[in-house]
Amino acid sequence: MYFSLLITNNLAVKFRLVLVILLYVTNNFSQVEYYPVGEDASVNFNFTNKFAIDKAILFEAKPVVRYSIYNNIRERLLVDSIKKASTVYAIFSPHLRMYNENSAPVRMPSYKIALGFQHVWKLRSHAKENHNMITFSFENGHYSNGQSGCAFSSDFTDNSVPCNNIYQTVINNQNINLTELLNRENGHFQTNFSRLFLNHRFNTKSKNSISYSFGYSLYHKNMFLFLNLGGYSNNDIQIYGKHRFYLDAEYSFKIFKSAYGVLEQKFAFINVAHQSITNYRSNTSFSVYPFKITRNFGFKLAYIKGFDDYNLRFVDNVDQLTLGVVFSPFGIFSFDN
């Protein structure tokens, strides 16, 4: 037993180290462009987990990678005479978790792949050292976990007659506890999605930055809006709902000569889902970016409460404290020049 736990812990430590190195290398050598709107790439270590059924999470990773098809944002933001910039890109967003079990498994990872577009307008400012900008973002793609089992029973496959009967029971009983029913071994989840964000950012050069965003996400059947492929089932959408709304706020500031801090509050809301699901998610975080050579690479402490964001585990209500390493695709750092 002792040797089994020792091997498990060693594997977990090695896996974490590999992910941290991968995150650092990937983002410093392949993501040299700027994306004003976008999720941070991160590796997080969990300190508190209040789950009714799952084992504690050892860590989770989001090694988000963006590949620019076209991007002139970096060069144009620093030229006062140019007022517009844009990017077209592909984005791959895996989401991995390792649980505290003997085999230290990474169970039911999520995958998002999408095409995206962002357009930036630099607004007029009375003070020359200030930068005021608005960004519109649109992404369209596919979100799934690559599994084939029934979402609420490990005994049946997805879309089988027994599985569909279970779905009908769940849909007709809004008071049923979905957390207890959830198939955590191979439950199937998939949908196509479109996501819109509008961001306003006010930067004072080399001093501080205030940013806030409004977002909306729609789950739909057609991939890229016209291909009838990879969408949700009629059973699934009645459980997790089509509509999600987002509200984000961020304050960035200089801590000392070469280090920055970022306070951030993110809210997400699910509309028209099963009544047993917690319909909100709050993520409160503080990040420090201490390295002059890699300004967008730092450390983040976060407190998360509300629905889970790990594919079909959205039926769970989480209460987490995490500490991790993070890479931001944008920040106030671009205005130091």
* Four-point Cα dihedral 330, 71, 115, 264, nearest 10: 10
Residue count of the chain: 337
Question: In whole angstroms, what is the distance from residue 89 CA to residue 113 CA?
Answer: 11
* Of 81, 111, 108, the residue nearest 93 (C-alpha): 111
Return d(Cα 292, Cα 119) in angstroms, integer: 28
The three-state secondary structure class of 167 is helix
Question: What pLDDT band is residue 5 in, cutting at 50, 70 and 90?
Answer: very low
Question: What whole-number distance in Å separates Cα of residue 226 and Cα of residue 192?
Answer: 11
Query: Which domains are delineated in the chain?
Result: 2-146+189-335 (2.40.160.40)
Q: Which of 1-10, 72-81, 218-227, 280-289 has the lowest mean pLDDT?
A: 1-10
- pLDDT of residue 96 exceeding 60: yes
Coil, strand, or helix at residue 161?
A: helix
Overall average pLDDT of the 264-271 stretch: 96
Q: Which residues pair with 270 in a beta bridge?
A: 244
- Is 96 within 8 Å of 129 (Cβ atoms)? no
- Tell me what the mean pLDDT of segment 138-149 comes to: 92
Q: Where residue 337 falls among pLDDT bands split at 50, 70, 90?
A: very low
Predicted TM-score (pTM) of the model is 0.86
45 against 130, higher pLDDT: 45
User: What pLDDT is attached to residue 172?
Assistant: 92
pLDDT recorded at residue 4 = 40
- CA 122 to chain CA mean position, Å: 27
CB 126 within 8 A of CB 95: no
How many C-beta atoms lie closer than 10 Å to residue 114's C-beta?
A: 21
Stronger pLDDT, 81 or 156, i.e. the higher one: 156
Q: What is the pLDDT of residue 294?
A: 75
Confidence (pLDDT) at 6 = 42
Phi, psi of 168 (to 5 degrees): -65, -35
Q: Is the dihedral of CA 318, 98, 28, 21 positive or negative?
A: positive
Tell me the backbone φ, ψ of residue 174, rounded to 5 degrees: -75, -10
Check residue 228 and give its pLDDT: 81
Assess contact for 177 and 299: CB atoms under 8 A: no
pLDDT of residue 2: 40
Q: Looking at residues 20-24, what average pLDDT do you find?
A: 54
**Tens digit of each residue's pLDDT (9 = 90 or more) over 161-198:** 999 999 999 999 988 989 889 998 889 999 999 999 99
Q: Is residue 27 predicted with pLDDT exceeding 60?
A: no
Residue-wise pLDDT for 53-90, tens only, equals 566 777 888 988 888 999 998 888 777 777 899 999 99
In whole angstroms, give the CA distance from residue 49 to residue 98. 13
- The angle formed by the CA atoms of residues 260, 267 and 133, to the nearest 5 degrees, is 55
And the tokens for 71?
A: 């991007």
So what's the pLDDT on residue 3? 37
Q: What percent of the chain has pLDDT over 90?
A: 41
Contact (Cβ atoms closer than 8 angstroms) between residue 115 and residue 140: yes
